[in-house]
Amino acid sequence: MPAPDSGVVAVERGKAASKVAGILLSLEFEHGAITQIRHLVQRSAATAGLTGAALDDYVLAVHEAVTNAVKYGNRPRSISIWEESGAFFSEVRDSGPGIPYQTLTSNDLAERSPFGGRGLWLMRHLTRTTIQTGPDGTTIRLAASLP
């Protein structure tokens, strides 16, 4: 269990906002928990069977989603992790203003500014990524096939 001052405000096993069966972990987080969440994702994905570059790529992509939720999103922020149909999933949610259309639709790294946009590009190139966004928040679901 995380330390009380770690930035993780709640941990629930067996439940997720998206009501996915087989949830491994679901928690709300604050900015102080980014590193801790990265380690949780790494351990969970490794236990599920991801290894080597596939594990590193997945952890980096989820780290980018969590960092973006802290940087651009509002509370509550949450992450859920689960296995389903031979894949490993993480879903990061926030209550921010949403991702601008131009940022969301651009798939060219050269179009990214030096101040942002590379995280979404990385997520899309390292995992199977689904993004739902609007004025009430953003949900990013990242998936990797298990061996």
The pTM (predicted TM-score) of the whole model is 0.83
Query: Which residues, other chains included, contact 124 with Cβ-Cβ below 8 Å and sequence gap of 6+?
Result: 107
Confidence band for 109, pLDDT divided at 50, 70 and 90: low
Distance CA 140, CA 147 (A): 23
Is the distance from CB of 134 to CB of 101 less than 8 angstroms? no
The confidence score (pLDDT) of residue 40 equals 96
The confidence score (pLDDT) of residue 101 equals 83
pLDDT in tens, 23-41: 898 999 998 999 999 999 9
Could you give the 3-state DSSP secondary structure of residue 85?
coil
The domains found in the chain, sorted by start residue, are: 9-132 (3.30.565.10)
Q: Which region holds residue 14: left if phi is over 0, alpha if psi is between -120 and 50, else beta?
A: left
φ and ψ at residue 35, rounded to 5 degrees: -65, -40
Is the distance from CB of 138 to CB of 91 less than 8 angstroms? no
pLDDT in tens, 48-105: 999 999 999 999 999 999 999 999 999 999 999 999 999 999 999 999 999 888 787 7
